[in-house]
Structure 1
């Protein structure tokens, strides 16, 4: 697991499993934001309001739209513990919109600038993952066309 700092952070990346979350319906509405679960670690402590964030859909065994980047937006507040007594995990509030041009995992692997994405190297890692400044500079134009 690579270390990240504010100096080399391009964007945060949240992974969603379509077998556990109805991401297909979310994509259909265009709204992928809300409170996403994050691990209690140093990365979560670095998250700040206004940071760019992308939503990566993981493999879903045919239950989802396919692996890749399906949303982009921003962190809208500090990570906090959920208010539901049954769910005491950390959640980060976000505003994320479905992108007009999703970038698939295969497209990322084929790109010299994106082939090293942490989410491709370590797909089982807890949220949040991240993109370096270089990776974000390569990805942003592809998803905002």
Structure 2
């Protein structure tokens, strides 16, 4: 088996941060009321070193098909470039916008252009995951633009 190569900034269309459905259900009312997500914890790997200011980012709510809220992309935005490392896990700075409606996991899985998303191939992977530049373009098309 060939060794897996490391990602470079050119491989990243967007960073994808996962959130469990219980945690998002607690956040959602505040987000609908105007609160924001300004950062998310990440696993301390070399990927965190690739985070730069103004990279696209998404918040993915995980869970079973019957989970509430529905699994998929709930927020989009950008990285701030700030990575706080004085916590048990690095925290990546984000500026995120809640989508009016979820972009459902099943819709992304059914679309051949996004069926290979890393989060669909390796759903238990730690934060951050990536979205390729081509997949990001499809997501941007589906949501009607990137904030």
Q: TM-score, normalised by structure 1?
A: 0.85
Distance 1:27 1:114, change over 3 A: farther
Q: Which residue of 1 aligns with 2:105?
A: 105
Contact 1:23 1:64 in 2 (8 A): no
Structure 2 counterparts to residues 26-65 of structure 1, below 5 A: 26-29=30-33, 31-59=35-63, 64-65=68-69
Question: Which blocks of at least 5 consecutive residues in structure 1 are unaligned?
Answer: none
- Number of equivalent positions: 141
Match of 1:9 in 2: 12
Change (3 A) 1:31 1:5: farther
- Structure 2, unmatched stretches of 5+, are none
SS in structure 2 at match of 1:53: strand
Structure 1 CA distance for aligned equivalents of residues 101 and 23 of structure 2: 24
| Cα drift, residue 42 of structure 1 | 1.1
| Aligned-residue RMSD, C-alpha | 2.2
Shift of 1:126: 0.5
Tell me which protein shows more helix as a share of its residues.
2
